[in-house]
Chain A
């Protein structure tokens, strides 16, 4: 028997109210107030919810936080060898896998940003160039990086290079569009004042006005790429390039769900670390 709508509304609002009261109580308590306190409370609620859910289902459907943490520690401490290009390093499972993914992540990002930023600035600055390239960009942009996988394997083969190229394609489009739109949105007065103050050629205008003016937009695009590239890596490594993504999928296929999730956790931590590093680097470059 369904309850009358008004009853349901009452129950809903009562629930909402009690949640609000609980959070307000947390807010008021001196220990837990502030940003860090709320974050800790939120994380605790998340872990508690996860735990209670995991304890009601088999571990191959959802491992408990304890199991994931255990797997994380095991992977972090089990010795393993990292080999690349004749170099052999004695590491642990987790750090070796992370290093393998960084072999895709860092060169892919550098390549994508290195090509995307200058090309985006050029297209944004030159209306004529933009007109030439708009159809091609519009056609190619919506193609997901992974769709290129077949070609990338044919071009550079299966392995680190292929995964790096997939990452590069993803960050290339993000940076190209960020830089392009950033230049387009620069106040025209900046260019006009530049001209009235004696800038006579495009080279000087780009160097003195456009690049410093668009830098914040490019930084934002690079930051988006940092996050997006970690997502793309999982897919890019599906095709036999060892790394975090490869591990996440293959451990799950052998039903080692706790290990799979430990590597998912690593991916999340890797993103947080790169984002934090980037923010620091940005502060240093442009305070």
Chain B
């Protein structure tokens, strides 16, 4: 995927946090590029830095060193160019479905008629045209996630960033939302970066899967060479999933052996 022009690009990016006990490296010298209109998933053990990477692209955090570029411009902060979707619980509970989707249009002073039309179109695209006046508390988790996606698309961002958006949902709802996300991606041609802890989801949806090790570095990037729509039960689907799972598991096994060595080392003085 590096052959195509990079639209989202991380250039030698590191992110370190200062804590009371020293410096923690969340990301170590990451190079990554996503072509325009590409769909990339980030997977890896929890705490591996995949969410940190997404937050850097979103501009919610800034890198300790290196540069994040989107569409050629260096990212310096959050911007409506990059739509953000979290888990289903982040809708504004005092706003109705339509008002949530309208939020970005309101604060950017979009004219009321344009906003009205846009909200209508987005809500029918995510299948919620008949629930415009409902409050988030009246919706199922799947519906709330749909509203979250529509809200992120309201300002027509070039990049859609999703942080484990389906993790709260049951399997059936998740699969139908995955299909809808693919539909939206095809229709609107956005560049998508998805953080997920479900390897199957990553393989089903993305052009390529970025696998993190447990130490803030990328183990490997797997290009998924399968035609869409992809079924879970094809012969060619499973090998991708097992290969990625094995990479993650190997990373974890290495962690455990380092832990054991560390234990032996620290208990030695007693003898």
Contact = CB atoms under 8 A, between A and B. Distances in A.
Contact of A190 (B90, B107, B154): B90
Contacts of B83: 196
A197 B104 contact: yes
Contact of B78 (A189, A195, A209): A195
Interface residues of B, number: 25
Given A197-B107, A198-B107, A208-B107, A189 B90 contact: yes
Contact of A196 (B58, B92, B95): B58
Contacts of A196: 58-60, 78-80, 82-84, 152
Nearest to B109: A198
Contact of A197 (B60, B94, B154): B154
A187 B90 contact: yes
Interface string A171-214: 00000000000000001011011111111000010001100110
A212 B154 contact: no
B90 A208 contact: no
A196 B83 CA distance: 6
Contact of A213 (B77, B94, B108): B94
Nearest to A286: B94
Contacts of B80: 196-198
Contacts, number: 58
B90 A215 contact: no
B151 to A, nearest CB: 7
| Chain B CB within 10 Å, residue with most, of A192, A193, A196, A212 | A196
Given A189-B86, A195-B77, A209 B104 contact: no
| Chain A CB within 10 Å, residue with most, of B82, B83, B104 | B104
Contacts of B79: 196
A212 B77 contact: no
| Chain B CB within 10 Å, residue with most, of A187, A190, A193, A209 | A193
A130 to B, nearest CB: 21
Nearest to A209: B92
B84 A199 contact: no
B60 to A, nearest CB: 5
Contacts of B152: 196-197
Contacts of B84: 192-193, 196
A176 B213 CA distance: 46
| Chain A CB within 10 Å, residue with most, of B82, B84, B155 | B84
Interface in A77-103: none
A233 to B, nearest CB: 33
B185 interface: no
A110 B155 CA distance: 41
Nearest to B95: A212
A20 to B, nearest CB: 38
Contacts of A204: 107
Interface of A: 187, 189-190, 192-199, 204, 208-209, 212-213, 215, 286
Given A198-B108, A213-B92, 18 more contacts: A187-B89, A187-B90, A190-B90, A192-B84, A192-B86, A193-B84, A195-B78, A196-B59, A196-B82, A197-B103, A197-B107, A197-B154, A204-B107, A208-B103, A208-B107, A209-B92, A212-B95, A213-B94
Interface of B: 58-60, 77-80, 82-84, 86, 89-90, 92, 94-95, 103-104, 106-108, 151-152, 154-155
